[in-house]
């Protein structure tokens, strides 16, 4: 059992992960910029999933209490949120699900100067924090539902052991996770989000996703 703090747990993605990881037996903390917003997010979570136990805290307190911290805020708030909790992340895994979508052209790949949101987070936090990126290509509201999600998860980060931990959490949330290499490779998963948005639009489908296929070597 792990205590997982989800910063930005007010959104669909954070709420969905909270529900799925709680069912797997983990302790969940919902974090937000203020205690009031965190409390309100907890109320909304209970409306969707009344049986999901969770605590509500301001982001700083949530990051301090979490053994693993998850960042689920919009790209525009990524660095400001990390700056506010940086001192509480030393030695921890930070799962960053940030995608650099830049309205109004969310269907166009637009990467930040660092190369990816994940690399931007790692550069900002330094080597004392193990940034691992995941879940960028998942339809967020599906996480809130009791359905099988037909989408694999690419997991990127500089430490294999940290990636292993996140892959286990991906599997506990009901999906397949794959080692995708160092944090620089997060750029591929982040860019795919805009491509999947285009596929959904142009082919009149929803929830398009990524599946890894291949033959096992013997």
pLDDT digits (tens, 9 = 90+) for 42-77: 998 888 888 889 999 999 999 999 999 999 999 999
| Residue 19 to residue 84: CA distance in whole angstroms | 25
What's the CATH number of domain 3-202, 3.90.245.10, 2.60.40.1840, 3.40.50.720, 3.30.43.10?
3.40.50.720
Evaluate if residue 215 carries a pLDDT over 90: no
What per-residue string of b and e applies to 125-142 under the rule 16 or more CB within 10 Å gives b?
Answer: beeebbbbbbbbbbbbeb
131-182 confidence digits (pLDDT tens): 999 999 998 888 888 899 989 999 999 999 999 999 999 999 999 999 999 9
**Binning pLDDT at 50, 70 and 90, where does residue 25 land?**
very high
Q: Which of 217, 214, 125 is nearest to 178 (CA)?
A: 214
Domain extents in the chain:
3-202
90-116 confidence digits (pLDDT tens): 999 999 999 999 899 999 999 999 999
Say what the pTM is: 0.94
pLDDT at 17: 94
pLDDT at 140: 83
Evaluate if residue 18 carries a pLDDT over 90: yes
pLDDT at 81: 96
**Binning pLDDT at 50, 70 and 90, where does residue 6 land?**
very high
Helix, strand, coil in percent for the chain, rounding step 5:
45, 15, 40
Could you give the strand order of the β-sheet that contains 93-96, starting from the edge strand earlier in sequence? 55-58, 27-32, 3-7, 68-71, 93-96, 130-133, 153-157, 177-179
Evaluate if residue 205 carries a pLDDT over 90: no
């Amino acid at each position: 059992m792990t205590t997982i703090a989800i910063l930005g747990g007010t959104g669909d993605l954070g709420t969905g992960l909270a529900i799925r990881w709680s069912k797997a037996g983990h302790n969940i903390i919902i974090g937000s910029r203020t205690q009031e917003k965190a409390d309100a997010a907890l109320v909304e979570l209970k409306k969707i999933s009344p049986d999901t136990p969770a605590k509500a805290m301001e982001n700083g307190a949530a990051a301090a209490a979490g053994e693993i911290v998850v960042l689920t805020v919009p790209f525009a708030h990524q660095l400001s949120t990390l700056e506010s909790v940086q001192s509480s992340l030393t030695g921890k895994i930070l799962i960053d699900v940030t995608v650099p979508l830049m309205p109004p052209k969310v269907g166009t790949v637009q990467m930040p100067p660092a190369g990816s949101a994940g690399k931007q987070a790692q550069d900002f936090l330094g080597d004392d924090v193990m940034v691992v990126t995941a879940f960028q290509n998942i339809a967020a509201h599906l996480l809130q539902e009791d359905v099988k999600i037909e989408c694999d998860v690419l997991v990127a980060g500089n430490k294999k052991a940290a990636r292993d931990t996140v892959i286990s959490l991906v599997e506990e949330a009901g999906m397949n996770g794959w080692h995708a290499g160092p944090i620089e490779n997060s750029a591929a998963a982040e860019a795919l989000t805009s491509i999947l948005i285009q596929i959904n639009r142009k082919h009149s489908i929803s929830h398009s996703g990524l599946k890894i296929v291949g033959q096992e070597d013997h």
